[in-house]
Structure 1
């Protein structure tokens, strides 16, 4: 009988993702799909392990059902919220961006249509893997960062983390030097989407930029939750929805 604890399960998922990481120039859509899902699963499992260290009951959606193995465990989103509120884990903006990007792409893969450009995929994997190693070292003391640097089989990961860090550095330099107006990218979640070029300077995601009919601010269409409210930016869309739900005038 084979049994994985949460850490062993997470490491296995990372190594399974590695099996699909050929040379950085030669991955296809199917490879990117499996790599992204694997990395997102690693994040979820690491979060659950950190929650387990606080108290094993917190790993379950309904803590009253602990220790039943038939009970549902928490989602990555709920795990993140509990780690912040109960586990006193502080996540940086960079961390939240990586978590959000990985979760949203995995949801697309598992529940909807999925397409991704090559640069976008490379940047996302590098962003996600960089976060995995930070969290594993800072909050679980796993030593994965050392493995990342020394383990020959994990060497390919350096191509992705270094590429992402280089893209982010160059993007921030360009934004500052040219005084570019940028907004949050709906793919990598970095504040690096060039409004004029309609393209993210990090991951290369391209999409039309619209102007909110209410507040006049620029926004990306896919950042909206509802198609029928597409003429509103996400902030105005939220306010409009809240007002309607509470019978308030907005």
Structure 2
């Protein structure tokens, strides 16, 4: 299994899109779709902000840059490929710090409407992750609208820095079931080619 920052962020962005899309067609059970959308959208933004930082300097992704440098030095002496292999306790930054570093150290301005959306998203995410959430029907509908706006704001912002973002989101979360191969054996070759093209496209963005 290999999941780069780009692939990871795109996957979560697609997961949030799927959850929000499904809500419109559900008569009951929308609560868990909203929960999934909140968690996936928060994760997508955090990971994609880290991607932008890594593209400029990987050390900016970590809380303690000195600890990161020590891990990089140890990687060379131990012939490892990932800092977490030698320093599993390393901590990466969260969304708020990522935005601050992008703006102050990388001269990338994060638009105010996305910041407001993410502040609201963080509030709801914390309620779900750490305690409970209780909304009436009107508040629940308003939450869904705000989540959709946050998704659109996220796509609009990251599309400026990730080429072909919308296409990548559309192609993400590809799945192939065993029954598909039984029903049509030729689909395997076509799927493999399409999937490898997709992975190659992601790799070119690293």
TM range (shorter): 0.5 to 0.7
| TM-score w.r.t. length of structure 1 | 0.54
Alignment of 1:5-154 (within 5 A): 5-21=4-20, 22-26=22-26, 28-66=30-68, 67=72, 68-69=83-84, 70=88, 71-116=90-135, 117-138=139-160, 140-145=161-166, 151=170
Alpha-carbon contact 1:36-1:102 (below 8 Å) kept: yes
Q: Choose between structure 1 and 2 for higher RCO, CA contacts under 8 A separated by at least 6 residues.
A: 2
Per residue, is there more helix in 1 or in 2? 2
Alpha-carbon contact 1:17-1:39 (below 8 Å) kept: yes
Runs of 4+ in 1 over 2 A off after TM superposition: 14-21, 115-118, 144-148, 151-154
Distance 1:134 1:47 in 2: 13
Shift of 1:95: 1.9
Kindly tell me the number of residue pairs found equivalent between the two proteins.
150
Could you tell me which runs of 5 or more consecutive residues in structure 1 were left unpaired when the two chains were aligned: 155-250
Distance 1:92 1:16 in 2: 23
Alpha-carbon contact 1:136-1:143 (below 8 Å) kept: no
Could you tell me which runs of 5 or more consecutive residues in structure 2 were left unpaired when the two chains were aligned: 73-82, 174-206
Alpha-carbon contact 1:133-1:145 (below 8 Å) kept: yes
Shift of 1:25: 4.9
Shift of 1:152: 8.7
Distance 2:164 2:61 in 1: 23
